[in-house]
Structure 1
Amino acid sequence: MYTEVPELELPDRVLVPWDEGHEERIRLHAPLAELTGEQAHTRTVTFDLPPAVEHEPVLDDRGRTLGRLVRRRARLTGEIRPGIEQLPGPYRVSRLTVTVHNTTDAPAGDRTTALPHSMVGAHLLLA
């Protein structure tokens, strides 16, 4: 049986709660023709990441359980809109823009209430 505590004092360290990000991958495949001209930024990919709870045991140097970390994630929904714009000039250069919108229906409130439903630490990697 576990009890939630403000901090967990261990022989070699003290564990305190903190907010940390979680990596999610959303794949988007689109032909270039769908991303250019009048169709640019009209293609929308929606995502819906369900809430989750993960438990990680905290062990001592002998493998005995001293406690556990609990990581909670709120539901997160959003849209990704890619588009390509041809740039003027003598070279055939294009600008790729990808916009990510948070569409989560989150409760109103203070920072602590809003943070689990936000994308503050969102990074976009393109390959």
Structure 2
Amino acid sequence: MKIDESNQSEQLERSLIDVAVESWRFSRLFARMINKLDAGEANRYINQLRYFQKKLEESLDEAGLKLVNLEGHLFDPGIAASPLNIGDFEQDDTLLVDQMVEPIIMGSTGLKKHGTVMLRKVSA
């Protein structure tokens, strides 16, 4: 019986993580669409987006989960994210996380899901 409950709990956590990642993606898409609107119209929607993001963070926090976004941070090969375009750079290039394609998900016990990133070279 305990194994069943543990398995069910893990499955529930995986489902929550999947919903969180898809919600994160949708939020980013919605933000890009808002940026295409004129300022007056955009203001109406930006508050709805902020509310949605706050509710997502609160719900994840209650489950002991957190979305991690590394955009703008220096890239380190040890981060919990796979770079899609690492082959575009030289080994001695200083790289920055330009875009998160998928966020990193952390839990109270550590890493729950690796992220995916796009990199860019830091301008000298």
TM-score range, shorter chain: under 0.3
Q: Which has the higher helix share?
A: 2
Query: TM-score normalised to the size of structure 1?
Result: 0.26
The structure having more radius of gyration, on CA atoms, is: 1
Q: Which fold has the larger relative contact order, with Cα–Cα distance below 8 Å and residues 6 or more apart in sequence?
A: 2
Query: TM-score normalised to the size of structure 2?
Result: 0.26
